[in-house]
Structure 1
């Protein structure tokens, strides 16, 4: 009788799974254990809901956009905005090198994802409280400290999610569940951007940011509760590799393998596309006097840039990932020169920057550039490496970039001392150097 009741409860999940995945046999899987195969409809829905919520939580607390705008609105020095992307990216990247082996030693690993999500929610909730209670440098320090906790938690999530996904969802369905989650979160982001653009919210002030961050925290906590319902069979506990140790043992590849060393140099220079994003947000916030409609336009621009350009960059990367790096680095260079040189030598033309739509177009184009860099360098590394060298190449490049990203936070100090436009100009020079370096790389 109990078994019959459980079967009835499973029918809606099986139907939903079959509709979304297009799988008429929910148990058609060969590369996961039998228990995971039986639970695949339920696990598919759990992954879909939890990952959608986590991506929404990420967007609501976006370091390059929402937090950058919030810091400016709170009167925090530009120095703090310069550290947002470096801490968010390196804080998520470097812990993966240390914790992957520890997670691998546990037979059941979903708890790490739940822990990471719960901690992410706590960190973002702290940011909401900070927005309501602090201003200036004090708010900057508090948000940076909480962002460190958030980034480290996301690093744990990232490792655990890949491992658990491989254990619970069959190979032919993994891309489907992640694609639907990304799509659902993307539609949410566009809807949020449209709402902020069209609604009359200029009187909402800091309370709006507190509400966005509180919603982000809620999304993370609900995601943790949903993921805890995942059915996971015990997995193998041997074979874990310490990524940081592997990187240290393989650092000689930077100079012994000239092609790989050249790639890491190019990737380091093209970090500029990511580092520049918060400074474009600072310009927009200052030029439009904090108009929340402009923030909505930037959110729309960010979502559209990724959605529209990623498929194109992907196809181009399959033909020439080196060419994608050259083009995307060149686009970032052109944008930086137009913004900086226009503001210095063409004051009349720079008056256009008082318009939110112009800032949205600039942010859209920079988002396209950044998406190209991300896809191009990932494709180039995979194509360049062999099965024997891929793990070492990935560990070394991630370690080097993770460390250099932290140094990149000094661009915030540069913006504070010399102006936001000057920081953008220097980052444009860095993008130019990256594009030229990519031009000199070998085709793979």
Structure 2
């Protein structure tokens, strides 16, 4: 019997699997392709690189630029504890993801148009407004996607799937970075930069269409109860469930890789300059890091996702401490231009592992609606912590960028220890 494309892809990545559910290869393929498009869109509208670059290009105030990373990251997490109640009333959660993806398409498309037609304070304010809408839409996708993944893909295949997704999208990111470097050397215009965002927005529209084709079984649904009462009930999980509480503490300390990323870019600008080719180099470094590391992290996560979190955080933390020493002690070496893209490459490896490890861990901790609660509560708490620590880091960086990098890296080492102490959920 001739195999379909989805079956060929599935068995190429899972050569040891012989007897599988009839919908598994199709769902595996659709989840892979859908995620590749959204990750490419994420890269081409990344607030740490592309969006910050464009806002500076259109003369948006610096204080507005400093808000975009905390808004994008925490804004997608904070509402999840409220959204969980709504999502649990839906038998098929893939449609929540589809709706959220369409809203993300609209938001990034609007940011692209804003960047082209406006400038200064007005442009900055509109971009932040649309970024808030984007983040809220992203939260819909975050909660629902983990539930759909848990229902459609077996536990021992989830980490590997995420790893291959990041790796394949990394190839596209690498190509995008090379193209940006080429255009930067040929005086890229405002139309080009706005076009990047418009193109990025289309990635979510394509992803929504692909995701809608997933074969998802019906979930147990709950009646729409009092939202605030539901929220309070979920918060109590943190108090009652020691395992879950320790995971949140560990994950809070793992934020070092996300929070330190912009400071590598700032250090490069301070010590090397603001030449436009650096944007392409940082994107390329991150793309290559994903290509090389994600499949390895994915395979490791299927064995022990908590060990992936531990090892990856140790890498990010040692890197941060090392960069502090170079900046403070070996000042001549800090002027070498390739130092920062190389450092960003290793940070990309670490960040890929941390994200993949903690996502796999929380999905494998529980089943059904309990999984939805775990994802929603943890993301809401982390979103709040990210917003607070991100604001403090932004203020502290005015005094010393490298000192903030050191402090965050030391917290990361503590997070690595906390991750190591967590039980291995893959063995359950």
TM exceeding 0.5: yes
CA contact (8 A) 1:119 1:150 kept: yes
Report the more deviating stretch, 249-258 or 418-427. Answer: 249-258
Conserved 8 A contact 1:51-1:223: yes
The match for 1:192 is: 176
State the TM-score, normalizing by the size of structure 2.
0.77
Q: Closer, same or farther in 2 for the Cα pair 1:245/1:362, shift >3 Å?
A: farther
Tell me how far 1:420 sits from its aligned partner: 3.2
**Take 1:265 and 1:273, find their aligned partners in 2: how far apart are those partners?**
15
Give the deviation of 1:392 after TM superposition: 5.5
User: Distance in 1 between the 2:93 and 2:373 partners?
Assistant: 24
Structure 1 unaligned residues grouped into runs of 5+: 1-11
Matching residue of 1:263: 247
**Pair 95,20 (structure 1): closer, same or farther in 2 beyond 3 Å:** same
CA distance in 2, matches of 1:275, 1:57: 21
1:218-273 Cα offsets, whole Å, 9 max, x none, are 33334445656x48799467247889866632545545555543432222122121
Instruction: Check whether the contact 1:317–1:324 (CA below 8 A) recurs between aligned residues.
Output: yes
Cα displacement (A) at 1:283: 3.2
Distance 1:419 1:71, change over 3 A: farther
Picking from 345, 350, 355, the partner of 1:364 is 345
Closer/same/farther in 2, CA of residues 260 and 121 from structure 1, 3 Å limit: closer
Matched residue, 1:408? 389
Deviation at 1:364, TM superposition (A): 1.0
* Matched-pair contact (CA < 8 Å) for 1:86–1:408: no
Q: 2:399, 2:181 → 1: CA distance? A: 31
Deviation at 1:365, TM superposition (A): 1.2
* Residue number among 328, 337, 347 corresponding to 2:331 in the alignment: 347
Match of 1:215 in 2: 199
CA distance in 1: counterparts of 2:83 and 2:244, whole angstroms: 25
Residue number among 146, 153, 156 corresponding to 2:140 in the alignment: 156
Structure 2 residue aligned with 1:5: none
1:93-112 residue pairs with structure 2 within 5 A? 93-106=77-90, 111-112=95-96
Q: Distance in 1 between matches of 2:308 and 2:167?
A: 24
Task: Render the CA deviation track for 1:370-426: whole Å, top value 9, x for unaligned.
Answer: 223234444655777799976665444333212212212304531563243343233
Taking the aligned partners of 2:362 and 2:275, their CA distance within structure 1 comes to: 41
Change (3 A) 1:110 1:433: closer
Point out the more displaced range, 112-121 or 69-78: 69-78
**Unmatched runs of 5 consecutive residues or more in structure 2:** 13-18
| Greater shift in the superposed pair: 365-374 or 237-246 | 237-246
Match of 2:404 in 1: 423
Q: 1:244 to 1:59 in 2, by over 3 A?
A: farther
Alignment partners' CA distance in 2, 1:295 and 1:165? 33
1:46-85 equivalent positions in 2, closer than 5 A: 50-76=34-60, 79-85=63-69
Decide which moves more: 123-132 or 76-85.
Answer: 76-85
Which of 114, 134, 142 is the aligned partner of 1:130?
114
Pair 1:19–1:160, CA change in 2 (3 A): same
SS at match of 2:245: helix
Picking from 113, 123, 131, the partner of 1:147 is 131
Q: Which residue of 1 aligns with 2:314?
A: 330
Query: Whose radius of gyration is greater, 1 or 2?
Result: 1
TM-score, structure 1 as length reference: 0.75
Closer/same/farther in 2, CA of residues 394 and 50 from structure 1, 3 Å limit: closer
1:181-239, Cα deviation, whole Å (9 max, x unpaired): 655433211211222335553511444321210101233334445656x4879946724
**Count of residue pairs the alignment pairs up:** 416
Do the aligned partners of 1:83 and 1:408 also contact (CA within 8 Å) in 2?
no
Structure 1 residues 308 and 399: alpha-carbon distance in aligned structure 2, compared to 1, 3 A threshold? same
Q: Tell me, in whole angstroms, the C-alpha distance in 2 between the residues paired with 1:267 and 1:174.
A: 22
Residue aligning to 2:265? 281
Task: Give the superposition deviation at 1:322.
Answer: 5.3
64-73 or 297-306: bigger deviation = 64-73
Q: CA RMSD in A?
A: 4.3
Q: Verify the 8 A CA contact 1:301 1:361 in the aligned structure 2.
A: yes
Residue 416 and residue 254 in structure 1: after superposition, are their counterparts in 2 closer, same or farther (change >3 A)? same
Alpha carbons of 1:81 and 1:416: their partners in 2 closer, same or farther (altered >3 Å)? Answer: farther
Q: Aligned residue for 1:4?
A: none
